[in-house]
Structure 1
């Protein structure tokens, strides 16, 4: 039976969205927070198949994330460490480079977890492996794309001087 209030959703009533890139990154997710019309807190149910990774290694400068493992096991790249994860583990991921993170399913079964995030805009994401930065304004990453006023991924090496391009 489906919930009868717009702020209540049942995970089984929502479709999975597949996210994949290349042979290493693949997951499926249900954006529970968005479906329940959340504004300042996002929550996604994520399933990561064996042998796959989640999003590229990244950290936020504005938003905080958290992960709660529902089932399965895997590893978490966290800063410069790799930490084993299993059912029942909770991970706090405050903004900043020390909490750069990426989940890996190195276990034999799907890794299922809840991913929570504050949904503040603007936000800046840094991707240490690929040396790029993502900039979001109007809506946070994972938020309402129609409300987004700026969204760009740029190489960190593309820095220019403050006055470049300005007239006399």
Structure 2
């Protein structure tokens, strides 16, 4: 790993296509030597969405809209907020930061940053699902993870049962 400037044009896009959730992503932090703060540039086509609505219990995220427009659904009640260039949104850990993003008619390009603490629990309230991550934070190197799984939010086992 070497520290120093990395130009976004020198980083390849990774494509994600899951129907209405389709976008391109450039992970900026690893090539620049980042360890504790992640940064990704996202390009979302018109009418497409990013990740499932979620929030983190152990990490904070933030976004900065560079180009285009879109809608951010934020908080437990998924209140709609218009997004436009220059908007910055802080997403501290916890339910108040549950979020989902959809690109507007001209698409959306945004920078997302996050702390990269692990372990982390990511909650997906619309699916009653949790993601558990240890060894590498969400957005980190999945090959480094000792735990990376998605479970029913209400799955439960008795602690003392053998």
TM bucket (normalised to shorter chain) is over 0.9
Give deviations 1:102-122, integer Å, cap 9, x for gaps. Answer: 1111x2212000000000000
Give deviations 1:54-106, integer Å, cap 9, x for gaps. Answer: 0000000000000000010110010121111100000000011111001111x
1-side partners of 2:157 and 2:82: how far apart? 40
What is the aligned length?
159
Superposition RMSD in Å: 1.1
Counterparts of 1:93-132 in structure 2, within 5 Å, are 93-105=91-103, 107-132=104-129
**Which residue of 39, 54, 58 corresponds with 2:54?**
58
CA contact (8 A) 2:47 2:107 kept: no
Larger radius of gyration: 1
The unaligned stretches of length 5 or more in structure 1 are none
1-side partners of 2:142 and 2:33: how far apart? 14
Per residue, is there more strand in 1 or in 2?
2
Provide runs of 4+ in structure 1 moved above 3 Å.
none
Q: TM-score normalized by structure 1?
A: 0.91
Q: Is 2:80 the partner of 1:70?
A: no
